[in-house]
Amino acid sequence: MTETMRADARRNHERVLDAARAAFAEQGTDVSLREVARRADVGIGTLYRHFPTREALIEAAMRHGLDALCARADELRDTRSPGDALVEWLAAFAASSVRYDGLPASLLGALEDERSELHRSCQSMREAAAGLLRRAQQAGEARPDVTAGDLLTLTAGIAWANQQGGARDDRTGRLLDIARTGLLRSPARHSPSNVGLKG
């Protein structure tokens, strides 16, 4: 492959990603891939050469946000109490999940489908959640019977439910607050105002 061909391939890759992010924001992750290709001004075959499945395209479009969530987990581990770090990270995960209509459902499906390209990225989320959860459990601040998979499924489910109504921020905060009271052993110490669930 010549340098010119490689440069063209890189440009097409970025054009498809930019078009996908815009289309996902406007129409959700179920938008037609032909529409994404049209916006990127490439053929559908070019799109599939770069992203063979819808899940691969979603994963690539979200990768920066997923990396940021993993970095956020490390930051919270160093700056918050175990319980606060856990619920604040879950709030950040929920906020990221509602960015595109349909994304929570895609995440929920990918968590259970090991063949999905999105499943591999969900593993980094599972590891981030597991580290924060383990720390909270060891400190006696979180229920010992909860798993990282439980947390991701619950939070993605809350984000999905939030997309079915209108007031996303208010509903997400309220549902996360309800989940928090069942997750933490000392809920009075972790009010939503302290961890930003309403904001």
pLDDT per residue, tens digit, the chain (199 aa), is 455 548 888 999 999 999 999 999 999 999 999 999 999 999 999 999 999 999 999 999 988 888 899 999 999 999 999 999 999 999 999 888 888 888 888 888 887 788 888 887 788 888 999 999 999 999 999 999 999 989 988 998 888 887 776 544 567 888 888 888 889 875 444 444 344 443 3
Given this model, what pLDDT does residue 196 score?
A: 42
* 62 vs 24: CA distance, rounded Å: 11
73 touches 131 (CB < 8 A): yes
Quote the distance between the C-alpha of residue 15 and its chain's center. Answer: 22
Closest C-alpha among 42, 194, 66 to residue 118: 66
**Can you list the alpha helix ranges (DSSP code H) found in the chain?**
3-27, 33-40, 44-50, 54-79, 82-97, 103-112, 117-138, 148-163, 168-183, 192-195
* 24 vs 197: CA distance, rounded Å: 25
129 touches 158 (CB < 8 A): no
Whole-structure pTM value:
0.79
Given this model, what pLDDT does residue 188 score?
A: 42
* 9 vs 162: CA distance, rounded Å: 38
Given this model, what pLDDT does residue 195 score?
A: 43
74 touches 52 (CB < 8 A): no
Q: Residue 198 carries which DSSP code?
A: T
pLDDT tens-place string over residues 72-99: 999 999 999 999 999 999 999 988 888 8
